[in-house]
Amino acid sequence: MSLWDLALSDCIVVMGSNMAENHPIAFRFVVEAKTRGATVIHVDPRFTRTSALADIHAPIRSGSDIVFLGGIIHYILENDLWFRDFAMAYTNIAHIIDDRYTDPERNNGFFSGFDPKNASYKQDSWQYRGETVQPSIAEHHVHTTEGTEGEVAATSTRPPEEDPTLQHPNCVYQIMRRHYARYTPEMVERVTGCPRETFLRVCKALTANSGRERTGAFCYAVGWTHHSTGVQIIRAASIIQGLLGNIGRPGGGVLALRGHCSIQGSTDIPTLYNMLPTYLPQPNAFSPHHNLKEFLKIETVPTGWWHNLPKYMISLLKAWYGANAQAANEYCYAYLPKLTGDHSQLPMTLAMVDGVMKGQFILGQNPVVGAVNSDLVERGLSKLDWLVVRDFAITETANFWQKGRLVQRGELQPADIGTEVFFLPSSMAAEKDGSMTNTSRLVQWHDKVVEPPGDNRSETWFIYHLGRRLKELYAGSKEPKDEPIHVLTWEYPLRGPNQEPDAEAILREINGYTVADRKQISSYQELKDDGSTACGGWMYCGVYPKDGHNQARSRRPDSPGGNGAHAGWAYAWPSNRRTLYNRASADLDGRPWSERKKLVWWDAAKSEWAGNDVPDFVKTKPPHMRPDWSKHPTGMEALGGNDPFIMEPDGKCMLFVPSGLKDGPLPTHYEPIESPVKNPLYDQQSNPTAKLWERPGNEYHRQGDPAYPYAFSTYRLTELHCGGVTTRVMPHTAELQPEAFVELSPELAEELGIRHLDWTVLSTARGDIEVKAMVTSRLRPFLIEGKTVHQIGMPWVFGWEGYARGDIANVLLPIVGDPNTSIHTTKAITCNIRKGRLERPGGRSHGQ
Amino acid sequence: MGSEKSAARGLPTREELSEAGRRALAAVDQVLHDRPNKIGHDFSEAVIGLSKLREQVIAERRADPTSETLLHRLGRLNSVLSVLVGAHYPLGDVPWDCLEKTRGILAEIVAEEVES
């Protein structure tokens, strides 16, 4: 959904986010919805400014989100409050699952197929009965007994088996009812600490605002993602929305608040190690990806929109390798880097500590503050040969060797740190051209308005000229391993005295063009797999559809009375479509579910889909069209006019996910890796497939360890951004949040003899920090399983640089990864707190 | 570089590097024998040792940039390290087959180190 689409919601749940404080621009639309009569709900351990503006604040212990959301699923199913017409038509609720499937309810917290030897799942028994569903994510291959050659029982011979009566014991509906049977309101209160009555108010508000005439939305951020069950938390919300018919419809959806200026862009055109631009799979050295033909055979999903993968992959290779990429050499596929393991930030930190890595580029990031287990990060940096940090003010990462914690306490001496550190000044946003892609997939162009001072340069300048110099350096090499550098296309017009690459030229390449005449392409439907098109990111195709037309620069909102899509404002991928899966906003006959919630519909007179948004569907496919299975259809031919979820192989919203997730087809409550509470629901305490790397310096707390009895969470502040340096060096933001603090409830403070503004020491097995106490009733103790559990929280944005300083919260956190994404856990660990100060060698430092 | 000079400069000696290589090979042999659920922190010793060996080869190559032997040895060491790190932090299953093959290359490198 679009951000402004929130204003059309009848009920908004903000969870896993303090939206008012951390996404204040976006929150305007929640406020607008409220003025129009929407119910706003905030689910959060703390009572924040978001809560203050909400109609309902539901407090929950950090790390118990799946119980809360699972409780809503239970409520919906047991009270029969789901939007039946929508869910029956557009989800896999009636699909029948393999007979071998068993649920955590029967297996002490494990799904069928768990291999304790590898701590991983084989997903045979999760499949639709009689077939295997291939995911579109390469490293999430379905481990089945069918073998590894990629031959799957594709969904192109028949549709999945269904029971429209929903009586079959292994249909998704019955499986979900059994799975969430114990997620009662009473269980929600026992595990989350949220009073039963409050929880029921949330359920009633959500369900009352669903159906044909009303829709609701969830908004979330890293309060959901930064958990060892992060992906499954989001999945739970998508199940709720699938059941309530809140996907693809005005005011409905699960809105990921991707609030950093270009964080969405950073995964689109990616900085993620395991993806090629616009979410194409990265080849893997240990998979049957030996050549392009094999790669495409394995990775191309037989049915649904992702069947077009070859067009996007080959067009990407043409963009990257230009005339060098030909059919005869498989478009230079051999030159693509291949994954050899988990190269995400967490194991990368550990590999740094082990001395494997020689160097690092840190661009616009400050991992000594922003990455978990700060001391281990410092240790890793000290093992590098070289480190390049680019930012516009000195960061903790750049001067770890001089002012870092390890140096301060005498564990390391600057003279003994062999890392050669280069600090290069970077431009700020107004000093460079470029695009920003954030919430709602919105790509907005910004122009340079002033030249950067002195030697400050943009990231684009740096990466381009670094690449140019590397190409020059290796120009004479005959080594086969240097061939990829030779053949990479790297020519962009340079402008101005600083020889800045033309950012719009890069955007034009990302958009795509026909190779023969270098004409821009206006739609990804024009991309081909024969080498005649080039495209740096298929989802962005259309952002620069013809010469001179940069849609990302457009700033034309709808006038009053307009349809509210604001299609003239920037560009939303793909195709400037504002709401994904919007075919679902119409019923099986192609008519809007209601006039009030109309978005797209079937125009019978013109035999095409029309409406207030770009239809996310084959424009001319009639609603009553059904695949001709006798022809073994592939791609979109295998999806009927009643299959809106076109990125899924069968076009249905997946309430139950047969493949693509490493930790289960249904969200299941596991306690955080560190928890003061024994899992009340299952014997299995925590996510059995979570990525754990226990080692010296990264020790974990055992469940209920009395040495670390408190639940601890971290979060951001409005005034100080992320790793903090950008705003801690600015007096006008620094003075608004001048120093670090830890929040604790009056009850805990009294128990420990801590007064407001007293110094405290926070401790975990990873380290200790000192910070002033903010005693506040916006944190309340939770009653969990009859026991009081105290919740503590601290902003993680402080460090030793700038005007606003404080100890680094991420010193306390362990390195733990979600099994699907390797994202770190920052929202739920355990800790201890006491009144007092740390003994520091050499006296006070770090601004104290 | 001779052991005396290495020791004087605080760099690992030839003997220490040989020993690091042998311990790395032993660690690989152990995991190949045990096929554990997950390769744990003990394996870091193998990676740390080989990283030090790689440092030495890099230093030698910088001193003699035309040496094809050193170039080849560095290439093999980097390949071995890639596989070991990939096995230690796998994306999915541990690549046991590749680890078996890599073991052979590592054994050759260790043998060459002992001889040098």
CA distance A254 to A238: 7
Output the pLDDT for position A418: 94
Distances from the Cα of A108 to the Cα of A229, A679, A689, angstroms: 17, 11, 15
Chain segment B29-54, per-residue pLDDT in tens = 999 999 887 788 888 888 988 988 89
| Contact between residue A23 and residue A259 where contact means Cβ atoms under 8 Å apart | yes
β-partners of residue A770 are A761
Beta-carbon contacts of A429 under 8 Å, excluding residues fewer than 6 positions away, are A261, A446
Q: Does A330 touch chain B (CB under 8 A)?
A: no
Report, as an integer, the average pLDDT of A530-535. Answer: 98
Comparing A11-25, A578-592, A776-790, B46-60, the range with the smallest average pLDDT is: B46-60
Neighbours of A810 (CB within 10 A): 27
Output the pLDDT for position A156: 65
Contact B85 A119 (CB under 8 A): no
Show the tokens assigned to A124. 């045979």
CA distance B52 to chain A (A): 8
CA distance B116 to chain A (A): 23
CA distance A534 to A509: 8
For residue A713, the Cα-to-chain-centroid distance in whole angstroms is 19
Q: Does B89 touch chain A (CB under 8 A)?
A: yes
Q: How many CA atoms lie within 13 A of A30 on its CB side?
A: 30
CA distance A408 to A399: 12
Exposed/middle/buried for residue A145 (C-beta within 10 Å: 0-12, 13-18, 19+)? exposed
For residue A832, the Cα-to-chain-centroid distance in whole angstroms is 30
Chain B partners of A141 at a C-beta cutoff of 8 Å?
92
For residues A845 and A699, which has the higher predicted lDDT (pLDDT)? A699
Chain segment A372-398, per-residue pLDDT in tens = 999 999 999 999 999 999 999 999 999
Residue A709 three-state SS:
coil
CA distance A560 to A573: 25
Chain segment A456-496, per-residue pLDDT in tens = 999 999 999 999 999 999 999 998 989 999 999 999 999 99
Contact A340 B44 (CB under 8 A): no
Chain segment A280-302, per-residue pLDDT in tens = 999 999 888 999 999 999 899 99
Beta-carbon contacts of A401 under 8 Å, excluding residues fewer than 6 positions away, are A381, A382, A407, A412, A414, A417, A419, A421
Instruction: Select the residue of B35, B37, B98 nearest A286 (Cβ to Cβ).
Output: B98
CA distance A673 to A688: 10
Chain A partners of B94 at a C-beta cutoff of 8 Å?
118
Residue A151 has pLDDT above 50, yes or no: no
Chain segment A293-336, per-residue pLDDT in tens = 999 998 999 999 999 999 999 999 999 999 999 999 999 999 99
Residue A635 has pLDDT above 70, yes or no: yes
Residue A513 three-state SS:
strand
User: Of A368, A400, A392, A364, nearest to A729 (Cα)?
Assistant: A392
3-state secondary structure chain B: CCHHHHHHCCCCCHHHHHHHHHHHHHHHHHHHHHCCCCCCHHHHHHHHHHHHHHHHHHHHHHHCCCCHHHHHHHHHHHHHHHHHHHHHCCCCCCCHHHHHHHHHHHHHHHHHHHHC
What proportion of chain A, given as a percentage, has pLDDT over 90? 90
Residue A782 has pLDDT above 60, yes or no: yes
Contact A118 B38 (CB under 8 A): yes
Residue A646 has pLDDT above 90, yes or no: yes
CA distance A435 to A416: 42
Show the tokens assigned to B40. 């744990």
DSSP letter string over A600-668? EEEETTTTEEEESS--SS-TT--TT----GGG---BGGGS-TT---TTSTTSSB-SS-SSS-SS-SS--
Residue B22 three-state SS:
helix
Residue A145 has pLDDT above 60, yes or no: no
| Contact between residue A254 and residue A5 where contact means Cβ atoms under 8 Å apart | no
Chain B partners of A284 at a C-beta cutoff of 8 Å?
91
CA distance B59 to A610: 67
Residue B53 three-state SS:
helix
3-state secondary structure A820-840: CCCCECCCCEEEEEEECCCCC
Distances from the Cα of A660 to the Cα of A77, A648, A821, angstroms: 25, 11, 12
Output the pLDDT for position A655: 98
Output the pLDDT for position B29: 93
Q: Does A694 touch chain B (CB under 8 A)?
A: yes
Contact B89 A351 (CB under 8 A): yes
Pairing of strands A710-715, A787-789: unpaired
Residue A140 has pLDDT above 80, yes or no: no
Residue A232 has pLDDT above 80, yes or no: yes
Instruction: Select the residue of A116, A139, A350 nearest B91 (Cβ to Cβ).
Output: A139
For residue A829, the Cα-to-chain-centroid distance in whole angstroms is 20
Residue A355 three-state SS:
coil
B5: left (phi over 0), alpha (psi -120 to 50) or beta: alpha
User: Of A104, A40, A74, A45, nearest to A186 (Cα)?
Assistant: A74
Q: Which of residues 250-309 of A touch B (CB under 8 A)?
A: 274, 284-286
Give me the phi and psi of A666, to 5 degrees please: -135, 140
Instruction: Select the residue of A117, A139, A350 nearest B92 (Cβ to Cβ).
Output: A139
Distances from the Cα of A695 to the Cα of A266, A536, A778, B45, angstroms: 31, 40, 36, 12
Our CA angle for A387, A389, A391, nearest 5°, is: 175
Beta-carbon contacts of B102 under 8 Å, excluding residues fewer than 6 positions away, are B28, B79, B80, B83, B84
Chain A partners of B91 at a C-beta cutoff of 8 Å?
139, 274, 284, 286, 339, 341-342
Confidence of residue B15 (pLDDT cuts 50, 70, 90): confident
For residue B8, the Cα-to-chain-centroid distance in whole angstroms is 23
Contact B90 A342 (CB under 8 A): yes
CA distance A178 to A180: 6
Our CA angle for A481, A360, B24, nearest 5°, is: 70
What proportion of chain A, given as a percentage, has pLDDT over 70? 97
Chain A partners of B37 at a C-beta cutoff of 8 Å?
116-119
CA distance B98 to chain A (A): 8
CA distance A385 to A362: 14
Residue A142 has pLDDT above 80, yes or no: no
CA distance B114 to chain A (A): 22
Residue A124 has pLDDT above 50, yes or no: yes
Chain segment A572-605, per-residue pLDDT in tens = 999 999 999 999 999 999 999 999 999 999 999 9
Report, as an integer, the average pLDDT of A426-436. Answer: 94
Show the tokens assigned to A250. 């005005």
Output the pLDDT for position A154: 52
Chain B partners of A143 at a C-beta cutoff of 8 Å?
93
CA distance A429 to A444: 13
Output the pLDDT for position B7: 45
Show the tokens assigned to B37. 């659920």
For residue A791, the Cα-to-chain-centroid distance in whole angstroms is 25
CA distance A267 to A253: 20
Show the tokens assigned to A278. 């616009």
Q: What is the ipTM of this complex?
A: 0.90
Chain B residue whose CA is closest to A822: B91
Which amino acid belongs to residue A794? Answer: M
Contact B88 A116 (CB under 8 A): no
User: What is the rounded average pLDDT for all residues in chain A?
Assistant: 94
Max Cα separation, chain A?
82
Contact A274 B91 (CB under 8 A): yes
Instruction: Select the residue of B37, B52, B91 nearest A341 (Cβ to Cβ).
Output: B91
Q: Does B79 touch chain A (CB under 8 A)?
A: no
Residue A819 three-state SS:
coil
CA distance A27 to A393: 30
Chain segment A161-203, per-residue pLDDT in tens = 999 999 999 999 999 999 999 999 999 999 999 999 999 999 9
Output the pLDDT for position A674: 98
Residue A171 three-state SS:
strand
Report, as an integer, the average pLDDT of A247-264. Answer: 93
CA distance A421 to A437: 31
Which amino acid belongs to residue A778? Answer: R
Show the tokens assigned to A132. 């295997």
Handedness of CA A263, A264, A267, A268 (dihedral sign): negative
Q: Tell which of B71, B84, B85, B94 to mutate to test the A interface (max A CBs under 10 Å).
A: B85
Q: Tell which of A118, A144, A286 to mutate to test the B interface (max B CBs under 10 Å).
A: A286
The residue count for chain A: 848
Contact A139 B51 (CB under 8 A): no
DSSP letter string over A739-797? B-EEEE-HHHHHHHTPPTT-EEEEEETTEEEEEEEEE-TTB--EEETTEEE-EEEEES-
Output the pLDDT for position B39: 86
Q: Does B91 touch chain A (CB under 8 A)?
A: yes
β-partners of residue A765 are none
| Contact between residue A49 and residue A21 where contact means Cβ atoms under 8 Å apart | yes
Q: Which of residues 4-43 of B touch A (CB under 8 A)?
A: 35, 37-38, 40-41
Residue A209 three-state SS:
coil
Give me the phi and psi of A446, to 5 degrees please: -130, 140
Confidence of residue B3 (pLDDT cuts 50, 70, 90): very low
Chain B residue whose CA is closest to A691: B89
Output the pLDDT for position A147: 38
Q: pTM of this prediction?
A: 0.95
Show the tokens assigned to A390. 């680019």
Angle at which helices B96-115 and B68-88 cross, to 10°? 140
Handedness of CA A186, A187, A190, A191 (dihedral sign): negative
Q: Does A347 touch chain B (CB under 8 A)?
A: yes
Omega before residue A574 within 30° of 0, cis: yes
Chain A residue whose CA is closest to B75: A481
Output the pLDDT for position A149: 43
Chain A partners of B90 at a C-beta cutoff of 8 Å?
341-342
CA distance B78 to B65: 17
CA distance A589 to A587: 5
